[in-house]
Amino acid sequence: MKFWQAVSFTEPDQLVEVAKMAEEVGFDGILVSDHLFFPLLLESKYPYTPDGVPGFTAETPWPEPFSLVAAMSAVTRRLRFATMVYILPLRHPLEVAKATATLDVLSGGRFVLGVGAGWMKEEFDQLGVDFRTRGARLDESIAVLRALWAGGMVEHHGRFFDFPRLQMSPAPAKPVPIYVGGASPVALRRAARCDGWLGNGSDPAEASRILGELARLRREAGRERLPFEAVVPLTTPPDPDVLRRLEDQGAHGTVSYPFLYTLGPTSTLAQKRRYLEGYAESVIRKAR
């Protein structure tokens, strides 16, 4: 079982030190999130709360995730980094391929691209991207990324993206892993065709059901023998026995929630260190 610390909503000036502390106490990875902006008038419904209202505001910091991972990877040696999740259909895959290949090379292969379709229509509108086609755009973008990461001359002629033969260097030593976020049927099918799944929080019973469904979908896709990592955040308090049972059912990792939820809206680095050390002692060491 791998343990990830989510750093969404964390004070930006503390993030580099948080990465160093997380590595020191025994975490395996850091999860970073992605949004371009918060609109003055938000009409889109947040999909993860009953009332559709997000638990963040216009003042909530959203550092650009690739820059953040670059900074944190530069001061760590073992820690992995994943976006949870990067709104891939909002961007052009040529630009994403360049940034992620560079991150992979400079971090020594410690970067995971976690992707999702996105929920905030206002972001798509501002960039002139059709919100209604974001799922199909996401699928095509994944295909483009995989082709570009393979190295050599590549051309692509698709519904959304079209380019002649070109080569992007440096290419990663091996393709950057792509994990898919979300628990909808279409998100799970997409995850089964990729390298991993990132949950958005569920109780152990629901997590068990999703893990079973992912196993079934991967068998149907002929990918059951390929590497795959399911990261399962739980909405219940962390319990080493529960985590071991889920690991037996196919879970590969879990998540310690952002400090906003465990320590409050703001906290000092000393408070974060005490929390990370406590989690490592009470959960990580007992679950292994």
Q: What are the pLDDT digits (tens) for 156-169?
A: 999 999 999 999 99
Rounded CA gap, 108 and 101, in Å?
11
pLDDT, averaged across the chain:
97
Domain-wise residue ranges, the chain: 2-179+203-211+236-287
pLDDT tops 90 at residue 177 = yes
Q: Which three-class secondary structure state does DSSP give residue 191?
A: helix
230, 195 contact by CB (below 8 A): no
Low-confidence winner among 1-5, 49-53, 254-258 (lowest mean pLDDT): 49-53
Residue 31 is encoded by which pair of tokens? 């999860």
Residue 61 is encoded by which pair of tokens? 């910091």
pLDDT tops 90 at residue 228 = yes
Rounded CA gap, 140 and 51, in Å?
32
Non-local CB neighbours of 132 within 8 Å, separated by 6+ positions: none
Has this prediction a pTM greater than 0.85? yes
CATH superfamily label, 2-179+203-211+236-287: Luciferase-like domain (3.20.20.30)
* Residues above pLDDT 90, as percent of the chain: 98
Average pLDDT over residues 203-215: 97
Residue with tokens 């679950």: 287
